[in-house]
Structure 1
Amino acid sequence: MKNQDDANRTPVTVLGLGLMGQALAGALLRAGHPTTVWNRTAAKAGPLVAQGARLAGSVRDAVTAGPLLIVCVSDYDAVHELLDPLDEVLEGRTLVNLTSGTSRSARETAEWAARRGVTYLDGSIMAVPEAIGTADSVLVHSGPRPAFDLYEPTLRSLGAAMYLDADHGLSSLHETAVVGLMYSTLNGFLQGAAMLGAAGVNAEAFAPIAKTATGMVVDWFAGYGRQIDDGTYPALDATLDTHLAAMENVIHESEFLGVSTDLPRFVKALADRSVSDGHGADSYAALIEQFRTSSS
């Protein structure tokens, strides 16, 4: 027999059972939420059904199963392909869209939802599937605050649930900003691994040193963030002129080792332009002015 807490759990529908969708539905089930699932390939629902999920026979059946609908599919076009035909059953429900996309797509989908009487929260997942439902999972949400407050206890089943703003586009914008950070970090590691590999050092041996160095750089974020917000860039650690000398070393070392110089030359080109603009005595944060300039 279910206890009172279980009886009060919000029923949730999850559309999309890729690796992330399966992780989301699994976390909801573990938290005691009655969970309905749907996927184009129904076989993917097997493990979730074994854990107590209800497999819907159609998208319509899934949508009508409860007040809260979580969607995590390939892209926003797929979201609309699934939900556009269901206007008459969407009204009055809350849609939390955890599909990756752009801020423009998020805002357009919010307008689409409003025309159909759907309360819309756009969300982004800052975690790998294995972390969903743990302290290592963070999900950010944007849209109407009352809807977030209402369903925050349910959303916390998936990880730390953060509210950003009423602007529906901010969650997707945060996700793409983090993705850009991820690629920059990984590319820096690959450049270093290529350089060390030319000297016979295994990339795995480089990894712990790279992790320590990355942690040091992360500690600079808050201070650089304040400088960017203030619009002033005092060189508290090193000037941009000093950084340029270090960039030259990376280029020369790469050339000597027969490793590509594309990445370090690109970074130095940004710094050169910043110095030309008069920021040679400023901190590295002054490069934000280069990133704010459209390349088109």
Structure 2
Amino acid sequence: MTDTTNTTSHREPVTVLGLGLMGRALAAAFLEAGHPTTVWNRTPDKATDLVAGGAVLAPSAADAIRAASLVVVCLSDTAAVRDALAPHRADLAGRTLVNLTSGTSDEARELATWSDDHLDGAIMAIPESIGRPEAFLLFSGSRAAFDRHRDSLGRLGNATFFGEDPGLASLYDVALLGVMWGTLNAFLHGAALLGAAKVDATAFAPFANQWIGSVTGFVDAYAAQIDRGDYQAEDAALETHLATMKYLVRESAAAGVDTDWPARLQALTERAIDAGHAGASYASLVEVFRGRA
């Protein structure tokens, strides 16, 4: 991702507002890629290492905004973004505002009205991977802004544009995080269950990872069923899943492991069957999540 052979004259100036762990990683990636980088934070001592690396510390948010045509915001929440930017909305004219602060889709749409040239984004990476190929970032809002700044945003990781609805990146963000939490919760529950039989989590992990890889095939197949609205059971019917879920609940209870997670899975499946999806594939649970069951 990084091209250190280019001088700063080949890169557009960038401002980064917010120097938490992620904000500092963003600014460092821009610096390493040769972008003239201005930074601002309410507590300026967080900029020490960045300034030593060539960044310019702006004395105020207004000065930081005026320093660059591309203004990247990464603060704790939307309220912090409002506090930082509201007094300086006039300074955003003629600049591209890229909001990488986590928030809801409605908050993203609200902030999009603050600038004629706006992108909302989500970072699917940890700070240590910013600027490397494994980091990927989601963007939505102004297509023209994304196309114009694609190269600069690409210094942070793999940048993907999802559409002109400013809220789409935030929706993708929480949907993907839900996948992460669901997967991790399932692993942690499994580690607790096997741990009751003196099996180390490190012994369980390789098999969990192998199975997670297999499950990706189910995701592709079920996604096609969801889009078609056709839930024909091609691998196993809901009743088959339900029978095994009941064993998982019983095994958890017998081992003294919390049963809330598997019991919720069982309850969702029973709701789908009761709603008329008996004999259908596991993909039919999407109707429960949609509130139609």
Same fold (TM over 0.5): yes
Structure 1: stretches of 5+ with no match in the other structure: none
* Residue number in structure 2 paired with 1:105: 107
Describe the SS at the equivalent of 1:270: helix
Given candidates 73, 76, 81, the residue that maps to 1:74 is 76
Given candidates 278, 283, 286, the residue that maps to 1:285 is 283
Alignment of 1:24-43 (within 5 A): 24-43=26-45
Alignment of 1:89-238 (within 5 A): 89-111=91-113, 113-114=114-115, 118-238=116-236
Alignment RMSD (CA, Å): 1.6
Distance 1:17 1:172 in 2: 21
* Residue number in structure 2 paired with 1:265: 263
| Residues 213-256 of structure 1, C-alpha deviations (whole Å, 9 max, x = no match) | 11111222111111111100121211111101110110111111
Describe the SS at the equivalent of 1:214: helix
| Residues 104-134 of structure 1, C-alpha deviations (whole Å, 9 max, x = no match) | 10011112x14xxx41100000111111111
Q: CA deviation at 1:100?
A: 0.3
Letter in 2 for 1:39: N
Describe the SS at the equivalent of 1:167: coil
Q: CA deviation at 1:3?
A: 8.2
Describe the SS at the equivalent of 1:219: helix
Relative distance call for 1:172 and 1:294 in structure 2 (3 A) is farther
Describe the SS at the equivalent of 2:101: coil
Structure 2: stretches of 5+ with no match in the other structure: none
Distance 2:53 2:33 in 1: 12
Distance 1:82 1:172 in 2: 20
| Corresponding pairs, count | 290
* Residue number in structure 1 paired with 2:55: 53
Distance 1:257 1:83 in 2: 53
Describe the SS at the equivalent of 2:118: strand
Distance 1:72 1:242 in 2: 46
Describe the SS at the equivalent of 1:32: coil
User: Quick check: 74-83 or 202-211, which moved more?
Assistant: 202-211
Say whether residues 1:12 and 2:14 are aligned partners.
yes
Describe the SS at the equivalent of 1:165: coil
Q: CA deviation at 1:67?
A: 0.7
Distance 2:277 2:76 in 1: 43
Q: CA deviation at 1:64?
A: 0.7
Letter in 2 for 1:29: L
Describe the SS at the equivalent of 2:68: coil
Letter in 1 for 2:253: E
Describe the SS at the equivalent of 2:123: strand
Letter in 2 for 1:12: V
Distance 1:134 1:88 in 2: 34
Identity of aligned pairs, percent?
52
Q: CA deviation at 1:282?
A: 1.2
Distance 2:5 2:59 in 1: 29
- Kept after mapping to 1: 8 A contact 2:6/2:34: no
| Residues 83-117 of structure 1, C-alpha deviations (whole Å, 9 max, x = no match) | 11113322111100000000010011112x14xxx
Distance 1:264 1:197 in 2: 17
Relative distance call for 1:271 and 1:119 in structure 2 (3 A) is same
Describe the SS at the equivalent of 1:158: coil
* Residue number in structure 2 paired with 1:253: 251
Distance 1:219 1:69 in 2: 40
Distance 1:88 1:233 in 2: 52
Distance 1:273 1:218 in 2: 25
Letter in 1 for 2:257: V
| Residues 191-221 of structure 1, C-alpha deviations (whole Å, 9 max, x = no match) | 1111111111122221111111111112221
Letter in 1 for 2:81: V
